[in-house]
Amino acid sequence: MGKKSDKLSETRISATEASRSFSDLLDQVEAGRRFLVYRRGRDVCLMAPPFPTGRRAAECLALLGARAPVHLDDEFGKDLLGILAGEPAEDRPPWGS
């Protein structure tokens, strides 16, 4: 699907290709990818995730859980517990999920 743009870090795709695979593109944008859509040779649209407004730790954990395993350093657990301790209990994820 499309060509990767070196200087912009997004994949360039045609409007036709974007319309045929819109649902798949949205899934990929939701996962963090960016697409530069062109029509008749001219760039017309950038599909990208919205600018972050800040996430709660629970949201970050949910995102991490959906990705491939990550290797973390020994201090990560302590840092995470400190962050979670500062959040209201109702915003914390159930640990069994």
Tell me how far apart the alpha carbons of residues 19 and 47 are, in angstroms, rounded to a whole number.
12
Domains of the chain are: 3-47 (3.40.1620), 57-90 (no CATH)
pLDDT at residue 4, rounded to an integer: 57
Q: Quick check: 33 pLDDT over 50?
A: yes
Q: What is the share, in percent, of the chain residues with pLDDT greater than 90?
A: 36
**pTM beyond 0.85:** no
Tell me how far apart the alpha carbons of residues 59 and 17 are, in angstroms, rounded to a whole number.
32
Residue 19, exposed/middle/buried by CB under 10 A (0-12, 13-18, 19+)?
exposed
What tokens does 28 get?
């990929």
Q: Quick check: 8 pLDDT over 70?
A: no
* Neighbouring C-beta atoms of residue 38, cutoff 10 Å: 16
Residue that wins the pLDDT comparison between 97 and 60: 60
Residue that wins the pLDDT comparison between 6 and 10: 10
Q: Quick check: 7 pLDDT over 50?
A: no
Residues written for the chain: 97
